[in-house]
Amino acid sequence: MKGKRVIRRRMKAFVLTVFFFLLSVWNVILAEAEETSDEITASELYARSAVLMDADSGRILFAKNGEEKLAMASTTKIMTCILALENGSMSDQVSVSSNAASQPAVRLGMREGQKFFLEDLLYSLMLESHNDSAVAVAEHIGGSVEGFASMMNQKAMELECTDTYFITPNGLDAEDETGFHHTTAENLARIMRYCIMESGKREDFLKITQTQEHDFSDCEGNGSYQCHNHNLFLQMMEGALSGKTGFTADAGYCYVGALQRDERTFIVALLACGWPNNKGYKWSDTRKLMEYGLDNYEYRQIDISKDTGSVLVENGAAGGFPGTEAAELKVEVNAEPFRVLLRRDEDVSVFCDLPEKIQAPVEKGQKIGTMTCSLDGIELKTYPLTAAKSMEERSFQLCLCYIRDAFFNVSDII
């Protein structure tokens, strides 16, 4: 009996040991899962190239092959639309050429010689992605497809989208002696940022791209045309702001879209995000990237009014007897705290660039150096560092005045 009790105790101790060991392992697994649940990796995305951008600053928050040059299909039309808004009038009458009327599907079905109001063609362009409408708009604004493509490339250069090259206004696959019709996910996101944040016609752009249905006729009142918005993202997530789909044989499925929630605005750009029958991949990737941004990034206030240091002033007089040593002078920064979108594990670096010594005299408010706020090596803000007070130059006369004031009290004599 005694031996059995010993065996039972040992078995009980063994079982408890195994139990607590497994419990500790499980806790470690859970802890690791919590640590990595907010992460996203390139392998989780279907798109060959993908970017998540903070629309406010233009900072890239996540990228998968973000600088790879790829065909972009009808996402091209966001540039076509914004240029038409900036260089035309909604009431313009657009004449249809034989070139426009002969464009392949997807098409409005316009006929040579018809006239349409520019406003109606922009709805056709952005809601249904009609290729004939794109060419008619391009010829009206640029004089020709080639002239409009030149305008598109000029705007791309202004936006510093140096890895983008436009040939067509509708995004159909094309190639010429200079290269092929292409962009990168980073450049595409940058163009969308311009359309919704920077352009003077951003409100018109948003109104068009957010419209669900638009019906119209030509300028003579002939025909009945209906447009339905194919951007499913607008109903997919709260705060969906804008977007444009695209597909060609070379490009695959593409998408660029924006979302705004709690003062944060994110842009997702996807290139080569599957081919038939994988039409839904772009929506899956868009949701995953948007949720990653919403779950992990929040605005934080950066206070830069802390001690900014001091500088030595050669031949400066700073209270007391003007000695021979360099005087110390405080510097300050005159700037309000600013907000920046950050991950929980990120922080802004603040660097003060000051000379070791300067020469007297120094005036209060005189620029002495600079303060730079950066994140991951990217400059966010730069402020001047200025003298907190004035400092005279040490001189023989100044020394005599100090002696006079120190040893002779004028009020006592009087």
Give me the active site residues, please.
Answer: 74, 77, 129
Cα three-residue angle 46-50-55, rounded to 5 degrees: 140
**Closest alpha carbon to 314 in 381, 368, 282, 359:** 359
Q: How far is CA 44 from CA 252, 284, 285, in A?
A: 18, 10, 8
Q: Taking the CB of residue 348, how many other CB atoms lie within 10 A of it?
A: 16
321-324 own/partner pairs: CB under 8 Å, 24+ apart? 321/399, 321/402, 321/406, 322/394, 322/395, 322/398, 322/399, 322/402
Residue 175: CB atoms within 10 A of its CB come to 13
**Rounded Cα distance, 296 and 238, in Å:** 17
Judging by beta carbons within 10 Å of its beta carbon (0-12, 13-18, 19+), is residue 211 exposed, middle or buried?
A: middle
CA-to-CA distance for 54 and 340, rounded, in angstroms? 10
Buried b (16+ CB within 10 A) or exposed e, 276-313: eeeeebbbbbbebbbebbbebbeebebebeeebeebeb
Q: At what angle do helices 131-142 and 145-158 cross, to 10 degrees?
A: 80
**Cis preceding-peptide flag for 106 (omega within 30 of 0):** yes
Alpha helices per DSSP H over 238-344: 281-296
Q: List Cα–Cα distances, 60 to 9, 44, 51, 244, in angstroms.
A: 61, 18, 7, 20
The residue among 133, 123, 99 whose CA lies nearest residue 229 is 123
SS3 94: strand
* Nearest CA-CA partner of 208 in 117, 82, 92, 116: 82
